[in-house]
Amino acid sequence: VIPARAGFDLVVTTDALVEGVHFLPDDPLDLVARKLLRVNLSDLAAKAAEPFGYFLTTSWSPRCGPSERSLFAKGLAQDGEAYALALLGGDTVSTPGPLTLSATLLGWVPTGALVKRSGARPGDRLLVSGEIGRGALGLKARRGEIEDPGGAFAGHYQLPHPRLELREALRRHASAAADVSDGLVADAAHIADASGLAVTLELSAVPVPSGARDLAELLTAGDDYEIVCAASAGSAAALIADAAALGVRMTEIGGFETGAGVRTLMRGQPLELPRSGFQHPL
Amino acid sequence: VIPARAGFDLVVTTDALVEGVHFLPDDPLDLVARKLLRVNLSDLAAKAAEPFGYFLTTSWSPRCGPSERSLFAKGLAQDGEAYALALLGGDTVSTPGPLTLSATLLGWVPTGALVKRSGARPGDRLLVSGEIGRGALGLKARRGEIEDPGGAFAGHYQLPHPRLELREALRRHASAAADVSDGLVADAAHIADASGLAVTLELSAVPVPSGARDLAELLTAGDDYEIVCAASAGSAAALIADAAALGVRMTEIGGFETGAGVRTLMRGQPLELPRSGFQHPL
């Protein structure tokens, strides 16, 4: 039972991970547990919500014996503590199939302070935190397809960093937000669709890791867990400054206008990208 | 986002179903969808909570094409309407394994009116709604192991009836409650354990379907989705009368005392039963 908290609304989000689809069979289960919490925490971050607790469904596959389960529990405990997130309940079952995990996270927002997907207005600027493409490059690195000195990309893929630190800045300055889980272009389009607007992205402005080659792939893959958001022309600079003060780079990459759909430009010239979002190519 | 509701607390429960473990591969998917909601509604019923909405995680197996998905959605819509339960969100993923479903249900209880598992007091009577064993007999009927004229047992197994109509009666008269999902003996023991008490069951008093033979199996199997509860000696008769007025049989089958553990009697003489709870013998 969640006692009512005066002056706060509850935000609820659910995300599932399936072995062989969303994580690799040889990913250590403590990292998988932490990723499960973090992909959901990223959803709370996009809503500018304060993490509270979670409900967990674990469908154990036959390969998960006591040592695998214990490693998984260790990961849960570690990030539960790091993010002050309480395990409130759940269900544990067996499956003859792959390990399947689902978490429902609860977070609090002060009444009226929720940052919605649907709040963008014509003329709002489009901004994104951090760098885009680290999720896609991390998956390639985990599969040995690219060099990854120091393991930074693989580390981001296994253990993304939810942008909870941006909560206050988003509440103050953003009119709409989403996390980048389906791919930057698809998630920007989600905001535009929900707001009943069109969105234009200037691809050359999108910050990507240095040396990255296939821009189209990076911008349409997922698992970045950055924040893509809308802010009025008057608020964008303040949002960038507040984020910078927290050590987070926030970059203006486009804007919203009346209409529908997503338009991608490369230095002002139309350049079409696939718009499908992340298809989990494992 | 769930707006705060003044004077109410939120109850949250999660249950998962796996094909081949909790339902049969040839169970129609509209019935599976409705069972998923109903096993969770049964948890809300035991807390005397009013259903509000749910979050759904669906891991589709390769065998689930458009017609299977559409049948599943039809079942969700049907019971969503029957129980005034809104689909609030969720996640849909693919799995190479069996169809795996998880629902997190939210319900409201007036602040302070939650019926807990841990509220039983020494001297309280133990009561149960309906008949026990219909879940076990329904599984046998579905497998063709027993006769089931009219299909009532198989129907109960596929589509249990959560005892939400007992909500007001439980709030008024019960000190503790649980739903019978793990097996009557195990679920009575859960109440005793949570309350720091011992519980005694008089097995001859437990209502079972007429003609049922293996009493031990019926009382330790699960999937009944009846309510087992505690009420003071002074409240038990009122609880039975209120339930009867709603058309629900409520039977006194034992009591709580100081101590720990569960004791089973047959006409006053100790009779030991396995206490393991339902092991999903599919």
Residue with token string 């959560």: B162
Q: Which amino acid, one-letter code, is at B195?
A: S
Cβ atoms within 10 Å of A159's Cβ, excluding its own: 17
Q: What is the pLDDT of residues B144-163, one digit of tens each?
A: 999 998 899 999 988 999 99
CB pairs under 8 A between A and B: 135
**Which among A2, A8, A12 is the top mutation candidate for probing chain B, defined by the most B β-carbons within 10 Å of its own β-carbon?**
A12
Write out chain B residues lying below 8 Å of A280, CB-based: 94
pTM score: 0.88
The DSSP bridge partners found for residue A106 are: A12, A53
Taking 80 as the threshold, does the pLDDT of residue B275 lie above it? Answer: no
Write out chain A residues lying below 8 Å of B1, CB-based: 9-12, 47, 109, 114
By CA distance, what is B3's nearest residue in A? A9
Encode B199-234: b = buried (16+ Cβ within 10 Å), e = exposed.
bbbbbeebbbeeebeebebbbbbbbbbbbbbbbbee
A57 and B10 within 8 Å at the Cβ level: the answer is no
Q: What is the pLDDT of residues B159-198, one digit of tens each?
A: 999 999 999 999 999 999 999 998 999 999 999 999 999 9
A16 and B93 within 8 Å at the Cβ level: the answer is yes
Residue pair B33/B76 in contact by the 8 Å Cβ criterion: yes
Shortest Cα–Cα distance, B201 to chain A (Å)? 27
Mean pLDDT value across chain A: 93
Shortest Cα–Cα distance, A81 to chain B (Å)? 22
Q: What is the pLDDT of residues A253-273, one digit of tens each?
A: 999 999 999 999 999 999 988
Shortest Cα–Cα distance, A10 to chain B (Å)? 5
Nearest to A239 by CA among A161, A196, A176, A162: A176
Q: What is the pLDDT of residues B3-29, one digit of tens each?
A: 888 899 999 999 999 999 999 899 999
B1 and A109 within 8 Å at the Cβ level: the answer is yes
A16 and B98 within 8 Å at the Cβ level: the answer is no
Q: Which amino acid, one-letter code, is at A84?
A: A
- Mean pLDDT throughout A18-47? 95
Cα B83 to Cα B108: distance, rounded to the nearest angstrom: 14
A97 and B93 within 8 Å at the Cβ level: the answer is no
Q: Give A217's pLDDT tier (boundaries 50, 70, 90).
A: confident
Q: What is the pLDDT of residues A158-209, one digit of tens each?
A: 899 999 999 999 999 999 999 999 899 999 999 999 999 999 999 999 999 9
Q: Is A192 helix (H, G, I), strand (E, B) or coil?
A: helix
Per-residue pLDDT at A275: 52
Sheet bearing A125-129, strands edge to edge: A176-179, A227-231, A125-129, A250-257, A198-202, A261-266, A269-270
User: Which helix (H) or strand (E) is B238 found in, with range?
Assistant: helix B233-245
Write out chain B residues lying below 8 Å of A91, CB-based: 14-16, 102
Q: What is the pLDDT of residues B76-121, one digit of tens each?
A: 999 999 999 999 999 999 999 999 999 999 999 999 899 999 999 9
Write out chain A residues lying below 8 Å of B9, CB-based: 1-4
By CA distance, what is A15's nearest residue in B? B91
Cα B196 to Cα B90: distance, rounded to the nearest angstrom: 37
A98 Cβ contact partners less than 8 Å away, ≥ 6 residues apart: A18, A19, A20, A21, A25, A61, B95, B96, B97
User: How crowded is the C-beta side of A241, counted as CA atoms within 13 Å?
Assistant: 7
Q: Give A211's pLDDT tier (boundaries 50, 70, 90).
A: confident
B interface residues, A as partner, C-beta within 8 Å: 1-18, 20-22, 47, 55-57, 59, 61, 88-91, 93-98, 100, 102, 104, 106, 109, 111, 114, 280
Q: What is the pLDDT of residues B46-70, one digit of tens each?
A: 999 999 999 999 999 999 999 999 9
By CA distance, what is A92's nearest residue in B? B16
Q: What is the pLDDT of residues A44-85, one digit of tens each?
A: 999 999 999 999 999 999 999 999 999 999 999 999 999 999
ipTM rounded to 2 decimals = 0.83
From the list B17, B22, B94, the residue facing A21 with the nearest CB is B94
Q: Is B215 helix (H, G, I), strand (E, B) or coil?
A: helix
Q: Give A149's pLDDT tier (boundaries 50, 70, 90).
A: confident
